[in-house]
Amino acid sequence: MAQTAHNANKTFFGHPRPLFTLFFTEMWERFSYYGMRVLLVLYMIQHLFQQADAGKEVFGYATIKSVLESFYGELSHQALSSQIYGLYTGFVYFTPFFGGIIADRFIGQRRSVYVGGVLMATGHFLMAVESMFFPALLFLILGNGFFKPNISTQVGGLYAENDPRRDGAYTIFYMGINLGAILSPLICGTLGQRVGWHWGFGAAGVGMLVSLVIYHFGGKHLPQTEQKQSIKEVEAKAQQPMTKEEWARTIALTFLCMVTIFFWGVYEQQGNTLQLWSDQSTDWNFFGFEIPSTWYQSFNPLVIVFFAPLLDRYWAWRARSNKAPGTVTKMAIGCVLGAVALVIMYLAAQAVGAGKGNVMWLLGSTFLLTLAELYISPIGLSLVTKVSPAKIVSMMMGVWFLATFFGNYIAGYIGSYYERIAKDEFFLLLAGLSLIPAVLFFFTHKVLTNALGKDV
């Protein structure tokens, strides 16, 4: 244990070395997740649903299609794929709420990461079997529920409560997520579109196994504090009543998380309708070489890797002069940037019409949407670990992801109108959706800041 504590106290680039174990663990897990996601909508529209309609067995397809059509009427392949995309990506962020509770009360964060990793690896490899498409999604959903909140929470556990490096740590951690997201479209996307869908999904499964290996061999350097308590001790601590201040922070944090639902409904179009725009309405021919349309999804994480450190330094510079915007203000700014990003797509739809347009429309919009994300996601992750009562921190991380669940479902529902209404109207609708949380954040700024603590 002394050796573990010694390693945990060593620093690298000013941060504890175990941060980089978590960095690479999350990097390869996100490689697997985004590698599968980059192919998901195209795979359903261009292959799976056509095979299922032709009589090939896809377990659960007829039932799921029937249930969705009982609510929304007859669905085209695009509308059905959007609904399933929204449900899948939504439930991926729904289960972490329960995974956080299970970790807090029963099996701990370390064991939860192992359980989640094994379930997700199984799901990725099942994706290579057409008939097992829907069971594979279920494995991925359940596995992410165990993995996601508990790997994120361990980052915060490396720092003291008031350590000023915490926000920077989550920005670094977020870069790990996005390094994996850069690689996955280039590898999984290319394999899926050019060699075979199942090669792409198989590569995603390999990425998940790499993530588990890194966590296993690097995990000995992570803090082991959670293993010092028995299950009974953890349960006894969880049953202690919260103070009035803790309740105020919890309620304010829950409200803030729920408000971001609208932003995520816009942001998640990158893997859905914006990927369709990339495939159907964007000219990817460069000097006679046709770039796979899935490479588009590498642009968002590429921007993050370059701009996250710059933004982190900019905020640190502003903080030194006491001019840094607070957390709530940052998140409001992010939502405004998201709205502007979709206004660009509104203009693109009017300019391009039914043809194929310049790639800069899509990349310009995604650039602003990425900056918006940087003002919301890493800041929100840091805030959850900073202000949540210690005994429910994993559960509150689950609440953060629960908001993303609703946002992803909205993304799927709205995306089903991509072929039903004019493209410019569709993108203008998304821009308006991103403005809703901006307005709510600006109007509730003072109340939220007082409840969460003036230092946020």
Say if 4 falls within a structural domain: no
Beta-carbon contacts of 44 under 8 Å, excluding residues fewer than 6 positions away, are: 77, 80, 81, 84, 85
State residue 339's pLDDT score: 97
State residue 103's pLDDT score: 84
Burial tier of 162 (Cβ tally within 10 Å: 0-12, 13-18, 19+): exposed
Say if 11 falls within a structural domain: no
How far is Cα 99 from Cα 394, in angstroms, rounded to an integer?
A: 8
Q: Which of 63, 80, 88 is nearest to 139 (CA)?
A: 88
State residue 98's pLDDT score: 85
Cβ(276)–Cβ(418) below 8 Å: yes
E-only strand ranges, 143-294: 285-286, 289-290
State residue 229's pLDDT score: 46
Task: Provide the domain limits for residue 377.
Answer: 17-452
State residue 224's pLDDT score: 57
CATH of the domain at 280: 1.20.1250.20
Say if 49 falls within a structural domain: yes
Say if 1 falls within a structural domain: no
Q: What pLDDT tens digit does each residue of the chain (456 aa) get?
A: 444 444 445 665 567 777 888 889 999 999 999 999 999 999 999 999 999 999 999 999 999 999 999 999 999 999 999 999 999 998 987 888 788 788 878 888 888 889 999 999 999 999 989 999 999 999 999 999 899 878 877 877 777 767 777 767 777 787 788 889 999 999 999 999 999 999 999 999 999 999 999 998 887 667 654 444 444 555 555 567 778 888 888 899 999 999 999 999 999 999 999 999 999 999 999 888 889 999 999 999 999 888 877 887 887 787 777 777 788 889 999 999 999 999 999 999 999 988 899 999 999 999 999 999 999 987 887 788 788 887 777 678 778 878 888 999 999 999 999 999 999 999 999 999 999 999 999 899 888 888 887 566
Domain count of the fold of the chain: 1
Query: Distance between terminal CA atoms of the chain?
Result: 34
Cβ(412)–Cβ(270) below 8 Å: no
State residue 170's pLDDT score: 74
How far is Cα 29 from Cα 246, in angstroms, rounded to an integer?
A: 33
State residue 4's pLDDT score: 44
Residue type, 384: V
State residue 228's pLDDT score: 40
Say if 2 falls within a structural domain: no
Say if 6 falls within a structural domain: no
How far is Cα 35 from Cα 171, in angstroms, rounded to an integer?
A: 22
Say if 10 falls within a structural domain: no
Say if 3 falls within a structural domain: no
Q: Is 230 helix (H, G, I), strand (E, B) or coil?
A: coil
